[in-house]
Structure 1
Amino acid sequence: FGRRKDGKEFPADASISRLKRNGKTIFTAIVRDITERKQAEDKIEQLAYYDPLTGFPNRILFHDLFEKAILQGQRENKSVAVLLMDLDRFKEINDTLGHHRGDVLLQRVGQRLKEVLRPTDIVARLGGDEFGVVLPLASSDDASLVAKKILKGLEEPFEIEGLPIAIETSIGIALCPDHGGNADSLIQRADVALYASKKGGRGYVLYTIEQDPHSPRRLALLGELRRAIESGQLFLMYQPKIDLRSGRATGVEALIRWQHPELGLILPNDFIILAEQTALIRPLTMFVLRTALGQCLSCHQAGQNIHIAVNLSVRNLQDPHLTDQIFEVLQACGMTPEWLELEITESSIMADAEIAMKNIISLRDKGVHFSIDDFGIGNSSLSYLKKLPVSSIKVDRSFVKDMLSDDNNTLIVRSTIDLAHNLGLKVVAEGVEDQATLEKLVSFDCDAAQGYHIARPLPAEELTRWLSQSFRPNAPHV
């Protein structure tokens, strides 16, 4: 902090330099007032972590608070419960009475939830008509009792602008450690229980493995994934990114797919998490790197000088051999490191920051570029971003796609672009699905964009044709 002449403190950024003059060492300090930047960062973090309609924590902050409650439960050897709930037929209410009344209803539901829950309980709006509740140090009996209280509390019709509106609610419950040991697995299982509750019309349901249709399938897929890597069932699609000033392609993101001989096309959400939980993530990542860099070389040989982006997982970043493995692939493919961009998430760095940073810095120093993927939905902040050796951030599609209809998302996107530029970073917007959104991003001075409006993910042969249009001397700008 700095101090003004009137004695008031202000947030400051200081740089100190040393020089020698006449045999003496002299230090000079430059102090900058960063009050406005700090206020802007605080505003963005408020918008990014709290739901503007109810004032409750949003999904991001809910996840963080849930993890802390789990740690507390582990320390005290007690269970923790999570409840997911949504309003049945809420879409009908919105469509019939209008979104304004729907928003008022959600606010009133939030008020009743606060009246029912204890001050130590955590309640969040997760999106749409879905709410989440964490009950620290709670048993299954405690969770069932709270679920009954919630259902009872929401029985009385809500009066909105003179109209009585009755709602029905479904609740799914999962417990730590009975049903999982981390927030992601517990939320997934509470969601399974919520689906069972809605399907059976039972008010609330406690998770059981019998309800979960995904577990057996995923276990079977895990056994087949190694064979898929070795037998050529995996392939890559490529989604172009364009420069918003020139309108021309500057790079592509490599996206993996699995063509299963019996199940057909399997998307990455169904098998990447499985690979991350085992040693299979290493050969899977090396396959993606080899294939993507080989395609990048083919593009360069055709006169299409693009960067290739590949996603890294948490487990990749914690592999002490990562740098050597990547450079072996680069050398084998005949590519130089400046054409490779590695996309990482905020959460993948935070999992073990020391090891992750060592790998990132080692690769960065050798010429590889890094980008923060899905920026805005992780647990870090813009102040933490200043310390990361990355050259760009990708604004998550959840903010971009609704930007034209949601003023808060517009503010988040615009402020993120401004602050990233102040930190010397480039910004890529994900999820651009129409021309109006693209034009809005151009007006915000966003650097680059990708999304279905620009190009869907393309197989290698179609990518070459698409890029040949982008690289024509008189190619029309997007």
Structure 2
Amino acid sequence: MFDPSNFQHFLEASPLPMWVYEIPTLRFVWANAAAIDLYGYSLADFQQMTILDIRPAEDRPEVAQLARNEDRIEANRSRVWQHLAKNGSGLDVRVTTVDLLPPGCGLRLALVEDVSSFTSMTRALEHMAKHDAATGLLNPGTLAHLLDAGLLGSHYEIASLRLQGLTEVSELFGSSVALTVAKEVILFLQSGRGGDLWGFQAPNCILVASAHAESLRELVVKASDFLEKPVPAEGSQWQIYLRCGLSRFPQDGSRAEQIIACAGLAARLRRVESNPAAPSVYTAALGERSRRRRRLAVELRRAIREEEIEVYFQPIVRAVENDGGTHLRKYEALSRWQLNGEPVPPSEFIPIVESVGLSKELLRLIMKRSFEVVTTLRERGLDCLVTVNVPAIASVLADLPDELLAFSERHGIRPDCIGIEVTESALIDDDAHWRKSFALLRYMGVHVAIDDFGTGFNTLSYLDRLPADVIKLDRTFIGQIFVNDRQALICASLIRLAHGLGLKVVAEGVEDEEQRQWLLKHGCDELQGYLIGRPISFSQVLDSLPASAGHEVVVAHDAVKAS
């Protein structure tokens, strides 16, 4: 029989809870004061209990089996358990045991260390590692791990719900406001749903994985309907728009992280004007386009650095015949690029240039070529005006006057021999930047043309303030002259309006004689298109020029236009 008096000082002096129990019955024999304080039981209470009584019911079979294990090393190995105090609260404890002497006495001493604070911290850190800190939803890595572990079975779909406008809310009003808005959306969408796995991918994407495809599509409709109206949060209303992409396992990838990426790609490439209740479903073709875009972005950086972008020139002529013929006055220079011998359409590579921040570098290359054109033609006795098309990017517009002046000084050419073309969006999107830049450009004598005129929503409201000499009617107007009477009326009205403001008009995309005659009848000043001539190389331009000096040639380089 265990005599505590032999160990009284040791047991009572220990700051850690300790007790002795009988191995066969698992009944407590002794507990020290620290154990009584921690668990809330008196010594008499302990002696009426077994070690199973302080364990959750689900742990008791394992505890009993280990306690009676004949392998003493395994039975006495230190372990972390959950214990129950007298008041029902849970305790996380590390229990280390040792069999008492003499051997075979059937008694075991337990040393207990309260690790509740440590385990709470550990659980908090594990939660932080597995969840998005802002929303509390699973992070993409944890979501992928659970899906790969088969939590939703062998077939599932993932919806990537991008909350367009949430990033702007954060930038303008703070991250706490954006978080509140996101939580309102999440709370609404999660109501009444079960069996899904939810995640969040910063800064604005809710991820939902479900084994039930139809249910997931119903969730997309629910989200679309909810976001039709502003989201109420922080005492205000916030307009958020939905862009949704769907992907499927195993059709779209062998790992969950691939499925998540595919859903996100489908959402990002979704057309803004598409019906938000009809999600964009990932396809192999969509993935291939994305991979090609990434490859082109890398190659474009190299091509611009190594000056592989070529310039072709398309003639622009006066609409009114002079001296018995139509005289060439201008060329629009169009960017051309070949990758591994295959041409890449400008409509494909120009948007990539803008999206990856290469517009300024490409513009510098084009300006360099344009100044070289002016120099070469002037050496042949030809008076030239070169117009460079400038992207609608604030930083590019802000630096443009200094860039032009530097090139002008380097080549010994007056700035008024250079002009620019700029789209309407540059004027509409960033009023402050273009006003300052254009004031400097006009002071330098730079000619200005407004490209793709008529395609912007606010064209007429800006027309009286456009710092331009020329407007270029977009090819969409010209192509519809004999197809749509309303378009023809608009086109004729724009020509009259421009002339009333003292602006010249250039028609782009003229492809047949009937269009040319119509434009001539309505007073269009200049024409450009396949009817007039296709883009040609600079050497071909030189071969086509008349030998006589004094002929005015205007070369307009389109650095950013996807023609």
- TM-score, with normalisation over the residues of structure 2? 0.49
1:453 matches 2:528: no
- Partner Cα distance (2:464, 2:357) in 1: 32
CA contact (8 A) 1:176 1:186 kept: no
Corresponding residue SS for 2:378: helix
What CA deviation, in whole Å up to 9, does each residue of 1:400-424 have, x standing for no partner?
Answer: 1221232122111110000011111
CA contact (8 A) 1:346 1:379 kept: no
Corresponding residue SS for 2:267: coil
1:358 matches 2:446: no
1:283 matches 2:361: yes
Aligned twin of 2:304 = 229
What CA deviation, in whole Å up to 9, does each residue of 1:444-478 have, x standing for no partner?
Answer: 111111111111111001112223289899xxxxx
- Partner Cα distance (1:359, 1:175) in 2: 42
Aligned twin of 1:395 = 473
Superposed CA RMSD in Å reads 3.7
Aligned twin of 2:282 = 208
**Corresponding residue pairs, total:** 309
Give the C-alpha shift of residue 316 in structure 1.
Answer: 6.0
CA contact (8 A) 2:243 2:279 kept: no
| Aligned AA (1:258) | W
Aligned twin of 1:386 = 464
Aligned twin of 1:187 = 271
Give the C-alpha shift of residue 179 in structure 1.
Answer: 2.2
Change (3 A) 1:189 1:445: closer
Give the C-alpha shift of residue 330 in structure 1.
Answer: 2.1
Corresponding residue SS for 1:265: strand
Q: Which consecutive aligned stretches of 4+ in structure 1 deviate over 4 angstroms post-superposition?
A: 69-79, 135-141, 174-178, 188-191, 316-319, 469-473
Change (3 A) 1:72 1:362: same
Change (3 A) 1:217 1:72: closer
CA contact (8 A) 1:235 1:258 kept: yes
- Partner Cα distance (2:263, 2:473) in 1: 33
Change (3 A) 1:469 1:431: farther
Change (3 A) 1:427 1:237: same
| Aligned AA (2:329) | T
| Aligned AA (2:437) | N
What CA deviation, in whole Å up to 9, does each residue of 1:352-398 have, x standing for no partner?
Answer: 21012211221121011111100111232223111121111100000
CA contact (8 A) 1:73 1:137 kept: no
Change (3 A) 1:319 1:409: closer
- Partner Cα distance (2:385, 2:411) in 1: 14
CA contact (8 A) 1:296 1:306 kept: yes
Give the C-alpha shift of residue 72 in structure 1.
Answer: 9.0
Aligned twin of 1:425 = 503
Give the C-alpha shift of residue 205 in structure 1.
Answer: 5.9
Matches within 5 A, 1:10-409: 71=165, 77=182, 179-180=267-268, 186-187=270-271, 206-208=280-282, 210=284, 211-245=286-320, 246=322, 247-260=326-339, 262=340, 264-315=342-393, 318-409=396-487
Change (3 A) 1:342 1:209: farther
Corresponding residue SS for 2:329: strand
- Partner Cα distance (1:272, 1:186) in 2: 19
| Aligned AA (2:461) | S
Give the C-alpha shift of residue 284 in structure 1.
Answer: 0.9
- Partner Cα distance (1:410, 1:352) in 2: 30
Change (3 A) 1:176 1:448: farther
CA contact (8 A) 1:248 1:471 kept: no
Structure 2: gaps spanning 5 or more residues: 1-162, 170-180, 186-223, 230-238, 247-261, 552-563
Corresponding residue SS for 2:523: coil
Give the C-alpha shift of residue 333 in structure 1.
Answer: 2.7
Aligned twin of 2:120 = none
Aligned twin of 2:66 = none
What CA deviation, in whole Å up to 9, does each residue of 1:194-215 have, x standing for no partner?
Answer: xxxxxxxxxx762337534221
- Partner Cα distance (2:334, 2:366) in 1: 8
Corresponding residue SS for 2:545: helix
Change (3 A) 1:138 1:219: closer
Based on CA coordinates, which of the two structures has the bigger radius of gyration? Answer: 2
- Partner Cα distance (1:281, 1:315) in 2: 8
Give the C-alpha shift of residue 175 in structure 1.
Answer: 10
What CA deviation, in whole Å up to 9, does each residue of 1:29-80 have, x standing for no partner?
Answer: xxxxxxxxxxxxxxxxxxxxxxxxxxxxxxxxxxxxxxxx95599655588x
Corresponding residue SS for 1:373: strand
Corresponding residue SS for 1:271: helix
Change (3 A) 1:450 1:470: farther
CA contact (8 A) 1:318 1:355 kept: no
Aligned twin of 1:434 = 512
Change (3 A) 1:140 1:187: closer
Change (3 A) 1:263 1:372: same
CA contact (8 A) 2:420 2:447 kept: yes
| Aligned AA (1:283) | E
- Partner Cα distance (1:73, 1:222) in 2: 25
- Partner Cα distance (2:468, 2:395) in 1: 14
- Partner Cα distance (2:379, 2:540) in 1: 16
- Partner Cα distance (1:189, 1:205) in 2: 12
- TM-score, with normalisation over the residues of structure 1? 0.57
- Partner Cα distance (1:74, 1:229) in 2: 32
Structure 1: gaps spanning 5 or more residues: 1-68, 80-116, 123-134, 144-173, 194-203, 474-478
Change (3 A) 1:434 1:472: farther
Give the C-alpha shift of residue 321 in structure 1.
Answer: 2.4
- Partner Cα distance (1:137, 1:315) in 2: 25
What CA deviation, in whole Å up to 9, does each residue of 1:220-264 have, x standing for no partner?
Answer: 11112222123232110011111222321222112111122x252
Change (3 A) 1:186 1:356: farther
What CA deviation, in whole Å up to 9, does each residue of 1:317-337 have, x standing for no partner?
Answer: 645322111111122233322
CA contact (8 A) 1:254 1:288 kept: no
| Aligned AA (1:187) | R
